Amino acid sequence: MDVLQYAWLIPVFPFIAFILIALIPKRTLGWEDGWGYAIAGAGGALVLSSLVIWEVLNGHTLTEDAPRTTWLIIGDYEVTFGIWIDQLAALMLLIVSIVGTLVVVYSGGYMHAEGETRRRYYAEIMLFISVMYGLVIADNYLQMFIFWELVGLCSYLLIGFWYQKPSAASAAKRAFIVTRVGDIMFMAGIILLFKYVGNLDFAVLFDINSGTPGAPTVPSDILILSTALIFGGAIGKSAQFPLHEWLPDAMEGPTTVSALIHAATMVKAGVYLTARTYPLLVQTPESLLFVAVIGGVTALIAASCALAANDIKRVLAYSTISQLGYMILGLGAGGYLVYHLQDPNGYTAATFHMMNHAFFKALLFLCAGSVIHAVGTNDMRLMGGLRKHMKITSTTMLIGALAIAGVPPLSGFWSKDEVLAAVYHAGDLDPIFLLLWVLGIVTAFMTAFYMFRMWFMTFAGEARSTYHAHESPKIMTIPLIILAGLAITSGFALLAGDGFKAFMELPIEEYVIPGHESTFDIAVEIFTDPLTYVSLVLAVVGILLAYRMYYVPGFDRSIFARGAAGTMQRALENRLYISKFYDDFAYKVWYGFSIVCDAFDRRVIDGAVNGFSYLGANTGGVIRKAQSGNVQRYASLIIVGIVILLALLLFVVPWGGW
Amino acid sequence: MFGSIPIISIIILLPLIGAIATFCLGRYEKYAKWVALSFSLAALVLSVLVAVDFMVEPDGSATGYHEGNGFFDFQYYEEYSWIQSLGIRYIVGLDGIGLPLFLLTTLLTTLSILFSWDTKHRPKAYFGLMLILEVGVLGVFSTLDYFVFYIFWEVVLIPMYFLIGVWGGPRKDYAAIKFFIYTHIASLAMLIAIMAMYFQSGINSFGMEDIWRAGLSEFGRTFQIVAFAATFFGFGVKLPMVPFHTWLPDAHVEAPTAGSVLLAGLLLKMGGYGIIRVSMPTLPEGADAMQLVMAVIAVASILYGAMVCLAQRDLKKMVAYSSISHMGFVLLGFATFTQLGIVAGVFQMFAHGLVTAVLFMMCGVVQHHAGTRMIPSLGGLSKKMPNAATMMTIGFLASLGLPGLVSFAAEFMVFASVYQTWGLWLLVPMIAVAVTAGYYLWALQRSMFGPLTENIDTSHVHDINWFEGVPVGTLIALIAIFGVFPLVVFKYIDPAVRIVQVLFAGGG
């Protein structure tokens, strides 16, 4: 039995769980209001995903020969639905299945106090995971787009889970609309390709301009535009500058939802899309440059916003944006390397970072959830000293912080270093990448600083408010321990077996390089490269600075209230005013314009209509009588109509002969 | 399945008999709803059977198959001479364009009657008029003779006028008369064009097929442009298109809920149907000359409608304006003159019929239960009416084009066809996608989410009633089914519009 043929069943498991939880009457739902079904749904998908991943690890993929079903045929256009399992899809399946399942397990403890609303929670979580799987295994852009939008919908529902809170309802709406701006670009991008190719299958599209007989051709300017537009979808979904501000607000949902969104589902979809589009992207260096610049700028802006945030989830949210910026930067620079040197290192580095980030970010969010669960607030200024009460949480969170800061041998070190190395190498081709590399290095320093600022503010020192902190139940700490293990070890995938790089083959035949480097060479290369030590030193300096400022007592932080530093601090606390800009634009400019449109509609357009009828009513008394309100007005109108009709007939007869 | 049974005529006659029976109930007026429901349900069942029986690619063995050289290929074709001296015949038949709308008509009428289950004010007249309305709309979607078409077209106006004028809101008189005069003027423009085509064709026949055939040689370019402009105005007001749309919000705001459902769900489709059945195939050169006008009006309707929606404070008025925006997609699809666009336009009519019915019903639910539809007075209602909130959310999501629900396929294909015809101008109508999401989600946030409102007395607000929930639930199920399997409907539409596209590829 070929497991890959049945990969389409992966999203079906959680979907069935979704249907069951949504439809089974409340009283018979049983265990924790649907938690049992959710575990079964996520677990079933995890098992099948593991089998699929195992097959892919053994070198099997299922791409062009996958079974398909027709969704629509119009004239010469056809859209079919199928599955596409390659290394990239397998990697994403790994991320979604592990993180998804652990989040569901953890929810059993975290959402325990929510009562009956848990039913809606588990139903929506199951739908969320299901459509994310659907997105991952899609074999064409339209199918991907459909699930892409549904992922957005589930984020909307879950961010707004506590919809009675105005801020939650507002944040949910914001997330949906902002990502929809990206979705418009995505849709436009695939429509461009649709015209030239006639369908949207990856199997056909990835052949574009390859020169093989029967391969579709697309003019290069159209290809550039369409890849840039498709990447526009990733800008929205993966919260890249300038559409990134929805993500920090998205923490209005339960923390488990944030963990899912940040680590496995929503925002990873954008990176996944960009990686998925690689066979097209590597033909368009212009788009790649755009991708890289967006990624680099995002990484720096988001990291700087995280420096001054006081909400523990907001720090993590900005750090996600920043790390996503790394991945996007890596993909952009990596594409440049592929285009010029047939060197896939950037691509492997970025996807590697995607995996590592999934584990340590899920860990960090679930730890934050554990803290919030214990303390009852998100504000780090009210925390402190939790290390004594929450040993497991504080230790696992420390592991997560070390991983994201890039301290060897934890996972973040390996992948971040690989990404920065790829960007630096791309600097040989275009000096702008050297600038982006500097942004990346500065970001690495900031990351180490704000993560440890967060850790010290939360766990170290003395409690700054009164609370009865306690360690979370096992159902929550066990997922933390598993994720901490992964955060430590997942980086070694680079060196295990044939190594991650050999596994993550580019999906393009002509770019596959015969004879990979051995994993030993990779390790040697990393530790002999001076750049490695640059980023390492910066990370350590960042940690020490945080230690000095937030752990050692007596540091005078009032310098941040005055002068240039004060201005900077306020700008960062106000999220660089980007959020405010959007609010003003939406509520003042755009809504104001709509008010003008409405007034125009009533006064001018409808006014003209009423004026016209007033004119008619005053010149012809008949119609005015018709408006007197009695039933006969209809009869009189009919008569008027017939008279006009006859007149027109007499007029039309001679006209008809002309 | 139907052999020589005149099934279309039977389906059209059923509601007529039902209407007469309802009017004749005398003092047993409390049974009016049952009579009306049975007759409309019978028509629904028969039309579903017709849809099942319909052969998508007829091989000549289809019931009542009438072949008209690829273009006028109809099934269940019936033809009777009526006024021989003027060439007026009663001809009915269905093709893949008419069938989905025919089905939509019987479906929405049945559900609207059910939705109005608690109507206490003059129920005989109310339900009777709804059945008369059904007769008119069914006739419009199946008649193939211009004269009879015009009669059915006008028949539709009368019951709608009374539905607004008698069962409407505070400004019902103004809204009803405005609706009537406005659309009547449009009908006159259409009538002039029909007469002009009749005389210009030089044959003694009002048959659509005859006139089309004669028109291929007899209609000069200038004539086509003028006649197209007249029919386009006639149908476009119904659609409605900016700037001839202002009758619509007034009519909707004042109309009773079921009236709004039928108005937006069916009457607007008559405009789109007329353009694709009459204007474009019969006057292709005229259409070709006016292509840009059509496109500009369509894009204006889409964007302007969406912008005005954003400013609305009345939930129902917002939904009414959203119809303008969404019917703009129909026109835009048609205006591309591509197979993709025309199929998408027809499908969008079907999709919009289902979705907008849900939206108006939910506005009605809010009005009945909370006592007001003004968004600033509402808030947090999902606490009191969770099922209604869920249904409203699904309706809004369907309307904003969420994949997996029915409108998405139509919207996507319209955009794809726009790119084929006008290239990157595509990005202009696409702005509406974000604006649409904006006004719907914002309205949802302000009316259903957040803390429970204190502006109105919510102590008696309860969840949706069964007779409201069943129609809405049915529609939502259909929205999801056709959203996941749009091919079910496309396979009807696609062959039917193939020739329209050929006409433009060859003649345009």
From residue A593, how far is each of A127, A590, A599, B428, B508 by CA, in Å?
37, 5, 10, 17, 39
Among chain A residues, CA nearest to B445: A169
Q: What pLDDT score does A657 carry?
A: 40
Q: What is the mean pLDDT of chain A?
A: 83
Pick from A505-514, A625-634, B170-179: least confident: A625-634
Confidence bin at A656 (pLDDT 50/70/90): very low
Looking at residues B325-339, what average pLDDT do you find?
92
How far is A466 from A142, CA to CA, in rounded Å? 53
Looking at residues A386-412, what average pLDDT do you find?
87
Residue pair A487/A359 in contact (Cβ under 8 Å)? The answer is yes
One-letter amino acid for residue A209 of the chain? N
| Among A3-12, A413-422, B270-279, the range of highest mean pLDDT | B270-279
Looking at residues B347-372, what average pLDDT do you find?
92
> Nearest CA to CA, how far is A593 from chain B (Å)?
8
Q: Evaluate if residue B491 carries a pLDDT over 90.
A: no
How far is A437 from A447, CA to CA, in rounded Å? 15
One-letter amino acid for residue A630 of the chain? N
Confidence bin at A508 (pLDDT 50/70/90): low
**How far is C-alpha B273 from the chain's CA centre?**
8
Among chain A residues, CA nearest to B304: A597
> Nearest CA to CA, how far is B4 from chain A (Å)?
33
Instruction: Provide, as residue numbers in chain A, all residues whose Cβ is less than 8 Å from the Cβ of B304.
Output: 597, 601
How far is A104 from A18, CA to CA, in rounded Å? 13
Residue spans per domain, chain A: 284-508+518-571, 579-656
Pick from A11-25, A218-232, A603-617, B296-310: least confident: A603-617
> Nearest CA to CA, how far is A84 from chain B (Å)?
20
Among chain A residues, CA nearest to B190: A645
Which of B188, B399, B402, B405 to probe by mutation at the A interface, max A CB count within 10 Å?
B402
Q: Do B494 and A146 touch (CB under 8 A)?
A: no
pLDDT digits (tens, 9 = 90+) for B141-183: 999 999 999 999 998 988 999 999 899 888 888 889 889 888 8
Confidence bin at A307 (pLDDT 50/70/90): confident
Q: What is the mean pLDDT of chain B?
A: 89
Looking at residues A572-579, what average pLDDT do you find?
78
pLDDT digits (tens, 9 = 90+) for A512-525: 555 566 777 777 87
pLDDT over 90 percentage in chain B: 52
Confidence bin at B371 (pLDDT 50/70/90): confident
How far is A629 from B172, CA to CA, in rounded Å? 10
pLDDT digits (tens, 9 = 90+) for A160-216: 888 888 888 888 988 899 999 999 999 999 999 888 888 888 888 888 877 777 778
How far is A619 from A617, CA to CA, in rounded Å? 6
Give, as one character, the DSSP assignment of residue B74: B
Instruction: Provide, as residue numbers in chain B, all residues whose Cβ is less than 8 Å from the Cβ of A626.
Output: 177
Q: What pLDDT score does A465 carry?
A: 76
Residue scoring higher pLDDT (A653 or B190): B190
Q: Do B192 and A652 touch (CB under 8 A)?
A: yes
> Which of B200, B434, B441 faces A184 most closely, judged by CB atoms?
B434
Which of B178, B199, B343, B375 to probe by mutation at the A interface, max A CB count within 10 Å?
B199
pLDDT digits (tens, 9 = 90+) for A104-124: 988 888 888 777 788 888 889
Looking at residues A641-647, what average pLDDT do you find?
63
User: Please, how many CA atoms are within 13 Å of residue B288, restricted to the half-sphere of its CB?
Assistant: 17
Q: What pLDDT score does B506 carry?
A: 47
Q: What pLDDT score does A511 carry?
A: 57
A115-146 exposure pattern, b = at least 16 Cβ within 10 A, e = fewer: eeebbbbbbbbbbbbbbbbbbbbbbbbbbbbb
Among chain B residues, CA nearest to A179: B434
Q: Do A74 and B340 touch (CB under 8 A)?
A: yes
How far is B308 from B438, CA to CA, in rounded Å? 12
Q: Do B442 and A173 touch (CB under 8 A)?
A: yes
Q: Is A510 exposed, middle or buried (0-12, 13-18, 19+ CB in 10 A)?
A: exposed
Counted across chains A and B, CB pairs separated by less than 8 A come out at 173
Q: What pLDDT score does B274 carry?
A: 94
> Which residues fall within 8 angstroms of residue B424, CB to CB, at 6 or more apart?
A225
Q: What pLDDT score does A658 carry?
A: 37
Smallest Cα–Cα separation from B93: which of B58, B69, B64, B113?
A: B64
Looking at residues B70-91, what average pLDDT do you find?
85
Instruction: Provide, as residue numbers in chain A, all residues whose Cβ is less than 8 Å from the Cβ of B444.
Output: 173
> Which residues fall within 8 angstroms of residue B192, CB to CB, at 6 or more apart?
A648, A652, B230
Q: Do B188 and A648 touch (CB under 8 A)?
A: yes
Q: What pLDDT score does B15 carry?
A: 94
> Nearest CA to CA, how far is B5 from chain A (Å)?
33
Residue scoring higher pLDDT (B86 or A631): B86
How far is A494 from A488, CA to CA, in rounded Å? 13
Among chain B residues, CA nearest to A642: B188
How far is A85 from A63, CA to CA, in rounded Å? 6
> Is the bond preceding B123 in cis, omega lying within 30 degrees of 0?
no
Instruction: Provide, as residue numbers in chain A, all residues whose Cβ is less than 8 Å from the Cβ of B502.
Output: none
Q: Do A648 and B195 touch (CB under 8 A)?
A: yes
How far is B478 from B44, CA to CA, in rounded Å? 15
Q: What pLDDT score does A428 carry?
A: 87
Pick from A300-309, A485-494, B23-32, B56-65: least confident: B56-65
Query: In this structure, what are the phi and psi dihedrals at residue A504, rounded to the nearest 5 degrees?
Result: -80, 65
Q: Do B402 and A150 touch (CB under 8 A)?
A: yes
Q: Evaluate if residue B71 carries a pLDDT over 80.
A: no
Looking at residues A595-618, what average pLDDT do you find?
81
Instruction: Provide, as residue numbers in chain B, all residues whose Cβ is less than 8 Å from the Cβ of A159.
Output: none
Residue scoring higher pLDDT (B498 or A427): A427
Q: Do A169 and B198 touch (CB under 8 A)?
A: no
> Nearest CA to CA, how far is B217 from chain A (Å)?
15
Confidence bin at A96 (pLDDT 50/70/90): very high
How far is B198 from B204, CA to CA, in rounded Å? 8
B88-110 exposure pattern, b = at least 16 Cβ within 10 A, e = fewer: bbbbbbbbbbbbbbbbbbbbbbb
Q: Do B308 and A598 touch (CB under 8 A)?
A: yes
One-letter amino acid for residue B331 of the chain? L
Which of A26, A72, A73, A74 to probe by mutation at the B interface, max B CB count within 10 Å?
A74
Among chain B residues, CA nearest to A75: B339
Q: Do A598 and B312 touch (CB under 8 A)?
A: yes
Q: Do A648 and B486 touch (CB under 8 A)?
A: no
Among chain B residues, CA nearest to A652: B196
How far is B242 from B101, CA to CA, in rounded Å? 23
pLDDT over 90 percentage in chain A: 21
The ipTM assigned to this model is 0.90
User: Please, how many CA atoms are within 13 Å of residue A356, restricted to the half-sphere of its CB?
Assistant: 36
pLDDT digits (tens, 9 = 90+) for B277-312: 999 888 988 898 899 999 999 999 999 999 999 999
**How far is C-alpha A108 from the chain's CA centre?**
25
Confidence bin at A224 (pLDDT 50/70/90): very high
How far is A616 from A602, CA to CA, in rounded Å? 20
Q: What pLDDT score does A653 carry?
A: 47
Q: Do A183 and B311 touch (CB under 8 A)?
A: no
Instruction: Provide, as residue numbers in chain B, all residues whose Cβ is less than 8 Å from the Cβ of A194.
Output: 416, 419
Residue scoring higher pLDDT (A510 or A192): A192
Residue pair A237/A270 in contact (Cβ under 8 Å)? The answer is yes
Q: Do B487 and A637 touch (CB under 8 A)?
A: no
Q: What pLDDT score does B266 carry?
A: 93
Residue pair A401/A447 in contact (Cβ under 8 Å)? The answer is no
| DSSP helix/strand/coil, A140 | strand
Pick from A485-499, A502-516, A627-641, B487-501: least confident: A627-641
> Nearest CA to CA, how far is A422 from chain B (Å)?
35
Which of B154, B164, B246 to probe by mutation at the A interface, max A CB count within 10 Å?
B246
Confidence bin at A651 (pLDDT 50/70/90): low
Confidence bin at A218 (pLDDT 50/70/90): confident
Q: What pLDDT score does A654 carry?
A: 46
Instruction: Provide, as residue numbers in chain A, all residues whose Cβ is less than 8 Å from the Cβ of B450.
Output: 163-166, 169
Looking at residues B378-391, what average pLDDT do you find?
87
Pick from A398-402, A606-610, A654-658, B445-449: least confident: A654-658
Q: What pLDDT score does A504 carry?
A: 78
Give the pairing of strands A68-74 and A77-82: antiparallel
> Nearest CA to CA, how far is B42 from chain A (Å)?
31
How far is B329 from B340, CA to CA, in rounded Å? 13
Residue scoring higher pLDDT (B67 or B38): B38
Q: Evaluate if residue A62 carries a pLDDT over 50.
A: yes
Smallest Cα–Cα separation from A363: which of A266, A489, A220?
A: A489
Looking at residues B470-490, what average pLDDT do you find?
92
> Which of A165, A187, A649 faces B415 most closely, judged by CB atoms?
A187
Q: Do B307 and A166 touch (CB under 8 A)?
A: no
Q: How many CB atoms lie within 10 A of CB A223?
A: 22
Q: Do B177 and A633 touch (CB under 8 A)?
A: yes
> Nearest CA to CA, how far is B193 from chain A (Å)?
9
- Percent helix, strand and coil across chain B, each rounded to 5? 75, 5, 20
Q: Is B28 exposed, middle or buried (0-12, 13-18, 19+ CB in 10 A)?
A: exposed
> Nearest CA to CA, how far is A321 from chain B (Å)?
23
How is B252-274 classified by DSSP, letter by letter?
HHHS-HHHHHHIIIIIHHHHHHH
Instruction: Provide, as residue numbers in chain A, all residues whose Cβ is less than 8 Å from the Cβ of B438.
Output: 177, 586, 590
Smallest Cα–Cα separation from B163: which of B136, B135, B123?
A: B123
Q: Evaluate if residue A36 carries a pLDDT over 80.
A: yes
Q: CA B240, B245, B250: angle at the middle one, nearest 5?
A: 115
**How far is C-alpha A185 from the chain's CA centre?**
15
Q: Do B307 and A597 touch (CB under 8 A)?
A: yes
How far is A148 from A154, CA to CA, in rounded Å? 10
| Among A83-87, A103-107, B327-331, the range of highest mean pLDDT | B327-331
Q: What pLDDT score does B507 carry?
A: 39
Residue pair A362/A370 in contact (Cβ under 8 Å)? The answer is no
> Which of A73, A180, A597 faces B308 most closely, judged by CB atoms?
A597
Q: Do B195 and A605 touch (CB under 8 A)?
A: no
Q: Where is A443: in which H helix or E strand?
A: helix A432-459
Q: Do A150 and B180 touch (CB under 8 A)?
A: no
> Which of A188, A633, A648 faces B427 most closely, judged by CB atoms?
A188
Q: What pLDDT score does B508 carry?
A: 36
How is A300-354 classified by DSSP, letter by letter?
HHHHHHHHT--BHHHHHHHHHHHHHHHHHHHHHHHHHHHHHH--THHHHHHHHHH
How far is B201 from B194, CA to CA, in rounded Å? 10
Confidence bin at A629 (pLDDT 50/70/90): low
Q: Do B191 and A645 touch (CB under 8 A)?
A: yes
Q: Do B430 and A633 touch (CB under 8 A)?
A: no
pLDDT digits (tens, 9 = 90+) for A240-282: 988 888 888 888 888 888 888 888 888 899 999 999 998 888 8
Retrieve residue A616's tokens.
């008619």
Q: Do B441 and A183 touch (CB under 8 A)?
A: no
